[in-house]
A and B are shown apart, each in its own frame.
Chain A
């Protein structure tokens, strides 16, 4: 069997050790790194994503697959960077200032990472300045903000407003999520998108990059 197909299959099975071994072999065989990424690692995660949507597998299997994908990414990432091959996208995520609820944000982070996005997780209680400065410094294209409390939701608006006032709208797009917010709220504050869960965030990002 084609080694890229094997990588994809082992991601589907959530076996990080096998994915690591196979990715090493693929690199040794001089298979172009972009091809290893697209036809091996991401292909495996696409299958996993489809199965998750069809309820064939559940979150634990998705996260095991994501762990396996990351094992391969560890090897591939330096080569991508040195070869100037672009990663899918870089996303800064965090729970907004005043809010310590980070379970949902963590889950979204793990899932996005598994789907091939580069994640910079700022944790919780993150100020608007920190979101924006990190995004600028790291060259992130997206900021993902989470809030559970209605009292902390307005911080999202502060971030959106600052991005607008700094004329960064074309460079940094804002995603919001969490129990307190909604599609309507995203529209109201001018955020780029509202994502209701991890897979929805993956779908959104894949649709715009």
Chain B
């Protein structure tokens, strides 16, 4: 085995200092938590609660108890029950950026509200993208009532793509149907606990606040053993200290708060130590996900998660560009490279533009290649029948090339990553002869190819019927008699 390359931003003594400060924040300043049930829960474990102000002061005992029961790893399974993810060590997996309100229309290059047809295209495309291991509820179809927009995305994802889904509920009520859709596939709660199918993103509100919805979603997921990724979003210089260390302290406190809620509800519930922090750009009043400091915070909190022996997640490998341009490529590949080199377990971002608000199928197919390249890099450099080397060089000198050498044929596909046609490696003449296709044109060709080659999900007919029945019932409750499409 070769070395799995890993980079570090923090020394252990700095991690310990950050953790110590975060504990102090939680125990001395506390957090605001707008959920009576969770406040009761915490009170039962000795936290100091101010019910009127929805305020809680943690204790180190509560924090230790929660961290002590958090699993060091967990697995995910696709709709058919096959294992797809092992969130442990430095195993890295990609998932598309989630919950965009817009899409970049690949036919018109216009940024607009997405609909069901777009979502189906996305899900079909995701089926064929080899290096993005899970799908996500990547954007919000605007042609269904807002109250079912969270569950409807999950429904379409489960129907058109076999991969596990990174998702999340927008409301407390939304969880119920989203859990039911998973039960339609797994059959029983026990089966779902044994083979998790989704990860729910649960987002604390910076600074140091948990909304009623987020708190309840964390509790509900814990009760059903559904893995949760905590998405703390400190904004350096605005809703968090401007320094990266200061932002990390806040991120740590917010994430540990979520872990406490989850683990006290159901010890052993799988969680990802995640986030979507960003620096705040004081010129544009925006939160650049493509900023190098944003990525540094991501990689650093991942180290804190690993220090706590908890698998990690980050919103990294995405871009703030508005189209498939050079900025989109550079920000996404820089993020993906750093994420994989840091060993972040669940890397969210592919396809995403414009500060996590616009999904692009064009970018998704490009990002799939970025993911493939970085995952190749993660396999590192390892000797493969390279010692002693003289026989191979004798063959080279004799034959004048090694194109058909056994050694070449045995290792070519393992050693070299071959990107799809979106990455142009033709010589100039061939590129010209093939139509001088731009990156966007090649991306569109790749989209068309993947849609054409799409194979319907192998989910059993009974599960599809049950899934659809539950979704239709839910839609009717919200005034929609027939689902779109």
Contacts and interface: CB of A to CB of B under 8 A. Distances in A.
A106 interface: yes
Contact of A183 (B400, B408, B421, B429): B429
Q: Which of A58, A103, A182, A197 lies at the interface centre, i.e. has the most chain B CB atoms within 10 A of its CB?
A: A58
Contacts of B6: none
Given A60-B412, A196-B433, A106 B427 contact: no
Given A60-B408, A60-B412, A63-B403, A182 B429 contact: yes
A55 interface: yes
Given A60-B404, A60-B409, A64-B409, A55 B418 contact: yes
Contact of B430 (A58, A59, A197): A197
A60 B408 CA distance: 8
13 contacts: A55-B420, A58-B412, A60-B403, A60-B404, A60-B408, A64-B404, A67-B404, A107-B401, A194-B429, A196-B429, A196-B430, A196-B433, A200-B429
Contact of A63 (B404, B420, B433): B404
B427 A59 contact: no
Contact of A200 (B409, B418, B421, B430): B430
A19 to B, nearest CB: 15
Interface in B399-446: 400-401, 403-404, 408-409, 412, 418, 420-421, 427, 429-430, 433
B404 A197 contact: no
Contacts of A59: 403
A193 to B, nearest CB: 12
A182 B427 CA distance: 11
Contacts of A55: 418, 420-421
B356 to A, nearest CB: 33
Contacts of A107: 401, 403
Interface in A63-81: 63-64, 67
A61 B420 CA distance: 18
Contacts of B420: 55
Given A58-B418, A196-B433, A103 B401 contact: yes
Contacts of B409: 60-61, 64
A103 to B, nearest CB: 7
Contacts of A197: 427, 430
B412 A106 contact: no
A194 to B, nearest CB: 7
Interface residues of A, number: 17
A62 to B, nearest CB: 9
Nearest to B420: A55
A58 B417 CA distance: 12
B124 to A, nearest CB: 21
A185 to B, nearest CB: 11
Contacts of A67: 404
A60 B418 CA distance: 14
Contacts of A103: 401
Contacts of A58: 412, 418
A186 B216 CA distance: 72
Contacts of B430: 196-197, 200
B63 to A, nearest CB: 53
Interface in A192-208: 194, 196-197, 200
A181 to B, nearest CB: 9
Interface in A82-126: 103, 106-107
Interface in B191-233: none
A33 to B, nearest CB: 27
A63 B406 CA distance: 12
Contacts of B429: 182-183, 194, 196, 200
Contacts of B427: 196-197
**A-B CB proximity, top 8 nearest:** A196-B429, A63-B404, A60-B409, A196-B430, A63-B403, A64-B404, A60-B404, A60-B408
Nearest to A54: B421
Nearest to A63: B404
A107 B427 CA distance: 15
A58 B409 CA distance: 10
B61 to A, nearest CB: 59
Contacts of B433: 196, 200
B403 to A, nearest CB: 5
A48 to B, nearest CB: 13
A50 to B, nearest CB: 16
Nearest to A194: B429
Given A63-B404, A106-B401, 4 more contacts: A58-B412, A60-B408, A60-B412, A197-B427
Contacts of B400: 106
Interface in A3-29: none
A60 to B, nearest CB: 5
A116 to B, nearest CB: 18
Nearest to B413: A58
A182 B430 CA distance: 11
A125 B420 CA distance: 38
B161 to A, nearest CB: 24
A67 B403 CA distance: 12
B343 to A, nearest CB: 31
